[in-house]
Structure 1
Amino acid sequence: MIKITQAQHVQHRVLRLHFSDDSYGDYDLQPLIDRQTELVMPLNDEPYFKQFFLELGALCWHNGLELSPGNIHKKLADQQQLHSRTQVA
């Protein structure tokens, strides 16, 4: 089971997420925010957006929004945006 082990704000609505399988990727949440659902609307506010936290390996906000680490991992892999921390440059 994949978990998010670390999250950092990179720019605007992009978070760099590190996963339990030693991979990482930059996840752009703007497409999710553009849906303008009740739970994601608060993410339009930059200070609120930056108040994300991890709970049991999931990406969360205080309004109850919780994003599945497995789904994010798969999406990044499908977009070829997932990188291995163990790769040698």
Structure 2
Amino acid sequence: MNPSVKSVAAIEGYTLSLLFENGEQRLFDVSPYLDKGIFTELKDPEYFKQVRVSFGSVEWPHEQDFSKDTLYLLSK
């Protein structure tokens, strides 16, 4: 089982800086998803910054989200 997200911050270039409960700090690039369905709204930099931790993963106000597994396995 992959660790949950403890904290998240939106940084330059549509990237999320993630701190996982196991102490690992990783970066997740959201840009490959920006032209797909509900994720197009994330192109707005002010909206992108509204990301928050929710139940061990991350989400935005209009319910766009990424699972903790996706975030952990695809982050660097």
Does the alignment reach a TM-score above 0.5? yes
Secondary structure at the aligned position of 1:31 is classed as: helix
Q: What is the CA deviation profile of residues 34-86 of structure 1, one whole-angstrom value per residue up to 9, with x for unaligned ones?
A: xx22310100111011111111111101111121011210112xxxx2xxxxx
**Unpaired runs of at least 5, structure 1:** 82-89
- Aligned residue for 2:74? 75
**Unpaired runs of at least 5, structure 2:** none
- Aligned residue for 1:52? 51
- Aligned residue for 2:39? 40
Aligned counterparts of 2:57 and 2:9: Cα–Cα separation in 1: 14
Aligned counterparts of 2:49 and 2:11: Cα–Cα separation in 1: 10
Secondary structure at the aligned position of 1:5 is classed as: strand
Alpha-carbon deviation of 1:17?
A: 0.3
- Alignment length, in residue pairs? 75
- 1:23 matched to 2:24: yes
Q: What's the Cα RMSD here?
A: 1.2
TM-score of the aligned structures, taking structure 1 as reference length: 0.76
**Equivalent pairs: percent with the same residue?**
20
TM-score of the aligned structures, taking structure 2 as reference length: 0.87
